[in-house]
Amino acid sequence: MTNKTTGLTRDAQRVVQGLDATGSAVGNPGVSRRVFLKKCREQVATVALASSCLLADARVTTGQESSGILSHDEYAKHDAIGLAELVREGTVSSTQLLDAAIQRLETVNPQINAIAGRMYDEARNAIRRGLPRGPLTGVPLPVKDISFSMRGIRSEYGSKLFADHIAKRDSTAIERLRRAGCVPFARTQVPELGILPTTESTFAGITRNPFVLDHTAGGSSGGSAAAVAAEIAPIATASDGGGSIRIPASCCGLFGLKPTRARVPFGPEGFEAWGGLAVLHGVTRSVRDSAALLDVMSGNALGDPYTAPHHTGTFLEQVSRKPGKLRIAIVKTMRPANHVDPECLQALQDSADLCESLGHVVEEKTEDFNRRFSFQELRQAHGLTVLVAVRRRVLSRLKELGRELRDDDLEPVTRFYHDYAEQYTAVELEDARHAFFRAARQMAEFQSRYDVIMTPTLATPPVKHGKICMTGTAQQVLDGLLEFIPCTAMANWTGQPAMSVPLSQSKSGLPMGTQFLGRFGDESTLFRLAGQLEQISPWDARRPNLKNG
């Protein structure tokens, strides 16, 4: 960056500013002014030469020479792989990308409340120290404020109880993302303890959908999805214990893939989350970014008790491969939810027609599918598992604080969940696990005849704020979940990969995704199909119309 007044780069200014008011070298009283100025001129010349070389190469696609500031239009038109290529070529610097991301964040976040915290100094220091050479070097990365701990950084989980909670070490996933060259610079909002499919809390406020501000961005990775949809960054980390990657991806017009159970490790602090229901990955605009992100994050870590099935090659190379002729089963809804919004059903049918036009065989199998599973047992098992995990996390925090739970520590429904979980027994928890294992075997049998299962990601377009939140009653939350997300939790129960692909849009301009479930361990088929769909029906041109400040 060049100072318009002095004509010097920022580094050159720092050299000149090494003289104090008397002309002595600061910290070097034995060095004369003449000697110091000579060194100063030499260093300024070196910095200026380096800067001029960078600026000579730093041209935007219009052919104009870069002023050192990357415009938002230029920044936002690239996905993460594209930005990393620009850095690798020397067209732009990592600092320019970070500055562009920060400028966009500060411009749009007041409208959407996607950001839980800023890490600008940490990000600049990481660049100053030198980033590793990796597939995503220089890419600014918003990080979900739960499941991705960063040493010395607050992780507040959308909860007053966890206010000012400081992580003691980097998670394995963050370590891998740093090694890939990513630059974490902001934390993204979550509902309290990551429980809801919306992102709103009394502690952190409401995260708004960048496309229609009075509707939800989804949850629990709503802050991450809103940040990517609002063009703050092309990728963001996310996690999914019942749909929390796919739900916000659908709400915000993004691609969101939930990987196979244990594909991405939860270490070093834990082995699994929510009894194995939850997984780690991200939300992205492009399919290839999602694949590259999974390549970076996946693979068992030292001491993991189990791992996902091995895959050959990289996920990134799968995106450009043809999927072949797939057998696809349509499942319009999952019990006990019977009603699906007509717009969501039409979006599903349009996606089915698109798949058929690509040569795939599509069959409607809703009744056959629903007969195979005990949905009431599975939903109860899910609730039990989540409530026990919530109680464990709360008790662990209270032990850390050395005090008892206070009335205003948690939101009303979260507090109800915490208290209710005390009644569960170890046997009931084990029964829940066995329900999931049985479902996984039943799913494997069904998918012996189908490569992919297709459902609506959501049963309605993104709901308005206040429809599903923790300030009502537990029954209202449960009813809201069944009405909104009847189809996403199945992939968490069975451990299989699933993705939401942003193929549709409601009449009111809200994005709507179609969900595809792959066989256990087979992300490759999903990436091939997603790459094919993205090529024939690209969605990246759909961007929200946010105010410029």
Residue 343 has pLDDT above 70, yes or no: yes
Residue 49 has pLDDT above 80, yes or no: no
C-alpha to C-alpha distances, 8 to 25, 33, 311, nearest whole angstrom: 19, 20, 51
Judgement on whether residues 246 and 329 belong to the same structural domain of the protein: yes
Residue 245 counted as domain residue:
yes
Residue 258 counted as domain residue:
yes
* pLDDT classification of 31: cutoffs 50, 70, 90: very low
Cβ atoms of 516 and 526 closer than 8 Å: yes
Judgement on whether residues 21 and 101 belong to the same structural domain of the protein: no
The model scores a pTM over 0.85: yes
Residue 111 has pLDDT above 50, yes or no: yes
Cβ atoms of 488 and 498 closer than 8 Å: yes
Judgement on whether residues 52 and 162 belong to the same structural domain of the protein: no
For residue 93, the tally of other CB atoms under 10 A from its CB is 19
Report d(CA 90, CA 59) in Å as an integer: 10
Cβ atoms of 513 and 250 closer than 8 Å: yes
Residue 10 has pLDDT above 50, yes or no: no
pLDDT attached to residue 14: 36
Judgement on whether residues 338 and 206 belong to the same structural domain of the protein: yes
Residue 16 has pLDDT above 50, yes or no: no
Alpha helix (H) residue ranges in 402-463: 412-420, 426-446
Which segment of 34-38, 350-354, 357-361, 459-463 scores lowest on mean pLDDT? Answer: 34-38
The pLDDT of 40-49, averaged and rounded, is: 38
Who's near 349: CB < 8 A, 6+ residues apart?
Answer: none
DSSP 174-216: HHHHHHTT-EEEEEE--SGGG--SS-EETTTEEPBPSSSTTBB
Strands 361-364 and 327-330: parallel
Domain of 254, in residue numbers: 72-536
Residue 64 counted as domain residue:
no
The pLDDT of 505-532, averaged and rounded, is: 98
Judgement on whether residues 387 and 529 belong to the same structural domain of the protein: yes
Residue 67 counted as domain residue:
no
The pLDDT of 142-159, averaged and rounded, is: 97
Which segment of 2-16, 399-413, 423-437 scores lowest on mean pLDDT? Answer: 2-16
Residue 334 counted as domain residue:
yes
Judgement on whether residues 39 and 170 belong to the same structural domain of the protein: no
Residue 61 has pLDDT above 90, yes or no: no
231 backbone φψ class: left, alpha, beta (φ>0; ψ -120 to 50): left
The total number of structural domains in the chain stands at: 2
pLDDT attached to residue 269: 86
Residue 323 CA, distance from chain mean position:
25
pLDDT attached to residue 20: 31
Residue 62 has pLDDT above 50, yes or no: no
DSSP 325-374: S-EEEE----TT-----HHHHHHHHHHHHHHHHTT-EEEE-HHHHHHT--
Residue (of 170, 106, 179, 101) closest to 141 by Cα position:
101
Residue 78 counted as domain residue:
yes
The pLDDT of 209-229, averaged and rounded, is: 98
* pLDDT classification of 509: cutoffs 50, 70, 90: very high
Judgement on whether residues 98 and 51 belong to the same structural domain of the protein: no
* pLDDT classification of 508: cutoffs 50, 70, 90: very high
Judgement on whether residues 389 and 519 belong to the same structural domain of the protein: yes
Amino acid in the structure at residue 548:
N
Judgement on whether residues 239 and 340 belong to the same structural domain of the protein: yes
* pLDDT classification of 18: cutoffs 50, 70, 90: very low
pLDDT attached to residue 544: 97
pLDDT above 90: percentage of residues in the chain: 85
Residue 343 counted as domain residue:
yes
Judgement on whether residues 511 and 363 belong to the same structural domain of the protein: yes
Cβ atoms of 97 and 70 closer than 8 Å: yes
The distance between the two most distant Cα atoms of the chain, rounded to a whole number of Å, is 88
Who's near 301: CB < 8 A, 6+ residues apart?
Answer: 172, 265, 267, 268
Report d(CA 52, CA 32) in Å as an integer: 30
Tell me the pLDDT tens digit for each residue of 461-503. Answer: 999 999 999 998 999 999 999 999 999 999 999 999 999 999 9
Judgement on whether residues 449 and 490 belong to the same structural domain of the protein: yes
Residue for token pair 């969101």:
256
Amino acid in the structure at residue 475:
Q
CA dihedral over 59, 61, 63, 64, signed as positive or negative: negative
Residue 545 counted as domain residue:
no
Q: What is the mean pLDDT of the chain?
A: 90
Which segment of 30-34, 312-316, 352-356, 384-388 scores lowest on mean pLDDT? Answer: 30-34
In the chain, the N- to C-terminal Cα span, in Å, equals: 23
Tell me the pLDDT tens digit for each residue of 374-409. Answer: 999 999 999 999 999 999 999 999 999 999 999 999
Annotated active-site positions, please? 144, 220, 244
Structure-block tokens of residue 300: 């068992």
pLDDT attached to residue 549: 62
pLDDT attached to residue 69: 87
Report d(CA 252, CA 241) in Å as an integer: 19
The pLDDT of 276-280, averaged and rounded, is: 97
Judgement on whether residues 20 and 118 belong to the same structural domain of the protein: no
Residue (of 508, 500, 507) closest to 534 by Cα position:
500
Tell me the pLDDT tens digit for each residue of 188-205. Answer: 999 999 999 999 999 999
The domain that holds 255 is classified in CATH as 3.90.1300.10
pLDDT above 70: percentage of residues in the chain: 88
Residue for token pair 């464990």:
392
Tell me the pLDDT tens digit for each residue of 112-143. Answer: 999 999 999 999 999 999 999 999 999 999 99
